[in-house]
Amino acid sequence: MLGRRQFLLGFAAALSLPGSPRTVFAQAGFVVPWTRVPTITILSTAADARSALVREAVAFWNRTFGEMGSGFRLGAVTETPGEIPIGELMAFSDVALRRAGPMAPPDDVRRTPGNIIVALSQGNFVSFALRWPGQAKALVAIKSDRTYPLTLPNVARNVIAHELGHAIGLGHNSDPSMLMCGRPAPCRPDAFASADPHYFPLAGGEKLRLQQLYPPGWRPE
């Protein structure tokens, strides 16, 4: 079996092949808005408590768009059994953090119905979001809730909402009191810990960005 370093080297080489689909990275935000109502498919191997958190996060974003007067909404949420291999997700996480694309979407993402595939993994990696606008596909990968800091109360809820925020167009900010705080700022997901279940807020500039991407007159093509 290949060691992790060998796997990553081979994976990176494959990503450098000409003709790979254009990939957009979470840290900078996605500059291409969705032109359709994106449907969400939860991909997991068994009954997973985080599935309910995905549905709640979708409702949170739809309430947010409604409050802003935007015409955009996230679409229906479905669940399907399956998994993306942990080693593959770990490699994608490493590449996403280094913003070292382009990369082709995993076969499981291409084959799975839906536009935003939320992979609830049992692996230990940095959760991430990637999007392929030309294929109307995005991957939101969430690390195991059995590993720190997702073992802390309120953290998994906000991590899922944070990564969905990337999938709809937001990047990172540097304010640890905000939902979209992240690298290269020092804030990390453990800042979401709270005995009171709640979502951290959006910054004013992020609401403005969403209104620019998805104005009141937004309609699916």
Handedness of CA 44, 49, 51, 54 (dihedral sign): negative
Vertex 122 angle, CA 116 and 43, to 5°:
30
Q: How far is CA 14 from CA 4, 92, 93, 106, 147, in A?
A: 15, 12, 15, 12, 30
Strands 137-142 and 116-120: parallel
Amino acid at residue number 157: R
**pLDDT score for 1:** 35
CATH class of 4-17+32-213: alpha beta
Q: CB burial class (10 A; 0-12, 13-18, 19+) of residue 71?
A: middle
Strands 116-120 and 40-44: parallel
pTM of the model: 0.87
Counted residue by residue, the chain has a size of 221
What is the Cα gyration radius of the chain? 16
**pLDDT score for 22:** 52
Best CA proximity match to 5, nearest among 104, 83, 94: 94
d(CA 34, CA 135): 11
Mean pLDDT of the chain: 87
**pLDDT score for 103:** 80
Averaged over successive runs of 10 residues, the pLDDT of the chain (221 residues) comes to: 36 35 50 93 92 98 97 97 94 84 85 97 96 94 96 98 96 95 92 97 96 95 87
Domain spans of the chain, in order of start: 4-17+32-213
| DSSP for residue 206 | H
| DSSP for residue 133 | G
| DSSP for residue 181 | B
CB-CB contact of 137 with 105 (8 Å): yes
- List pLDDT tens digits, range 24-36: 545 445 568 999 9
Q: And the tokens for 12? A: 């990176």
- List pLDDT tens digits, range 114-165: 999 999 999 999 999 999 999 999 999 999 999 999 999 999 999 999 999 9
